[in-house]
Structure 1
């Protein structure tokens, strides 16, 4: 399975890097490939390193204005014209999606895939990996949207929340053949 991971390219502390590295090694050890933003910086580098160390395949999708930050020596690297094309290519190359900690770019990617699922435009499973409670507030907001009728599809059908990488991968493996 090729798993697209949306996450930060920022340098983060051990609360995020240690679980990210463990998740990445587990992903690679289980024989899955990583599809990610292609950056060789920050948390993106940590995850790519972990998958690579465990023998997993690396597929990067960067964007022209970030092409100076791409990781070299990967199995496949594509440079998109703009962010819209990048997101489309990331989703095209993936069988499933994991959303890890990140900033505005990660949040943009997360809401786009959830919107596509809401409208039935993709059935790829999505896991929000809630490392160190990072997405507790977002989860609360999503639950409120669900409870108050803002979601035409139950939240449980849009996204699965997992507190650790093993639970995230177990959920995806149970849904992707």
Structure 2
């Protein structure tokens, strides 16, 4: 399975990197491919290292203005012209999407993927990996959107909130 992971390129502390390493190990050991933003820094590097060290493949989709940070030893690296093309290629190459901790870029990617799914433009599973309660507030907001009629389909059909990498992988592999 090609698992697209959206996550931060920031250097983060162990409460975020340790669970990322565990999830990366699961991806690699189970023979899956990581499709990610291609950067060799921060949490993106943690994920790529973990997948590669455990036998998984790496497909990076970087973007021209970040190409200097692209991982050199990925199995495949594509340089998109802009962020919109990058997001489209990430989704096109993915069988599933996992959103990990991140900033505005990760949130942008997550909301676009969910909007496309809401409109039936893809049916791929989407998981928000809620490491250390990072997405508790977003989960509450999504629940409010559902409760007040803003979502045209049940929240459970739109996104799965996982509390661990093992939960995320179990959901994807079922």
Scaled by the length of structure 2, the TM-score of the pair is 0.99
Give the SS at the match of 2:62. Answer: strand
* Equivalent-residue separation in structure 2 for 1:114 and 1:70 (angstroms): 26
Name the residue aligned to 2:170: 170
Name the residue aligned to 2:46: 46
Name the residue aligned to 1:7: 7
Name the residue aligned to 2:87: 87
1:1-177 superposed matches below 5 A: 1-174=1-174
> Per-residue CA shift, 1:83-122, capped at 9, x if unaligned?
0000000001110000000000000000000001100000
* Equivalent-residue separation in structure 2 for 1:42 and 1:132 (angstroms): 17
* Equivalent-residue separation in structure 2 for 1:29 and 1:132 (angstroms): 24
Moved over 3 A (4+): none
* Equivalent-residue separation in structure 2 for 1:55 and 1:136 (angstroms): 32
Give the SS at the match of 1:86. Answer: helix
> Per-residue CA shift, 1:118-163, capped at 9, x if unaligned?
0000000000000000000000000000000000111100000000
Aligned-pair Cα RMSD in Å:
0.4
* Equivalent-residue separation in structure 2 for 1:80 and 1:167 (angstroms): 32
Task: Give the C-alpha shift of residue 73 in structure 1.
Answer: 1.1
* Equivalent-residue separation in structure 1 for 2:153 and 2:76 (angstroms): 35
* Equivalent-residue separation in structure 1 for 2:75 and 2:43 (angstroms): 19
Structure 2 gap segments, 5+ residues each: none
Task: Give the C-alpha shift of residue 12 in structure 1.
Answer: 0.2
Give the count of matched residue pairs. 174
